[in-house]
Amino acid sequence: MFLAIDVGNTQSTLGLFDDEGQLAKGWRMTSNASDTSDMLHARLFSYFLKDGYELADVSAAAVASVVPALTRAWWRCLGDLLGRSPLLVNATHDYGMPIDMPNPRTVGADRIANAIAARNAYGSPVIVVDFGTATNIDVVDDRGAYRGGAISPGLMLSANALFSKAAKLASIPVEAPEHALGDTTETAMQSGLVIGAAAQAEGLVSRMKAELGIEQAKVIGTGGLARTVSRATGLFDAIDPTLTLRGIREIWLQQHGGA
């Protein structure tokens, strides 16, 4: 089986794929930069044991990480598990997608994985909006090249800042309200957070489509809060929660000749 790991600033997502390329099981864990390789190994073992798998089932693995300390820890952990180094996704390698940017090396591993998976699944042009710690928008043009996008504070980052700095505002459920015009403090906050995130995505995507002349581009939502935001907008052609993990696996396949 193949293990894909997407290490974000707040959470890490793990996906175990079977030989047919189907996601057999997925897990989420907190991203803690102080975790050692031994701690990650123990946590991985407990996840596998809980769901009836064995670490010996894993024959290959790849990691897309935006946390350097955890990149090193996962590299050692998976190296010990596999007896060889896992693939570390980064923009220094050619994954079959041109990166049409002045400095391609600065592109995050998760953004590369999203763009490749989206192009493979939905064709090009395509735009991915990933609602994680940050909200990332990534654009693949009509030539199939990665063109960049936008990065903004994520919905929960904004919510936590609001809750911590505004003494009279208590934590509320982060969900889409029925109307943009909130008639209570709670619905006003939900409007500002969720409908605000949707409106931001709508505006940025519209401008990017116009700038590149790709009005026909499909728009794909992914990330932990994609379904929540999608209830406040008709922007998305699809919500694809496993997009990043599939992109990691597809990059591994490309590097290994489709093996």
Query: Which residues participate in catalysis according to the annotation?
Result: 110
Sheet with 218-222: list strands edge to edge. Answer: 146-153, 134-140, 126-131, 218-222, 238-239
* Contacting residues for 70 by C-beta, under 8 A, at least 6 apart: 7, 12, 31, 32, 33, 35
Q: How far apart are CA 238 and CA 30, in angstroms?
A: 27
Report strand pairing: 23-30 vs 11-17.
antiparallel
Give how far Cα 214 sits from Cα of 9, 70, 143, 187, Å.
Answer: 31, 37, 11, 35
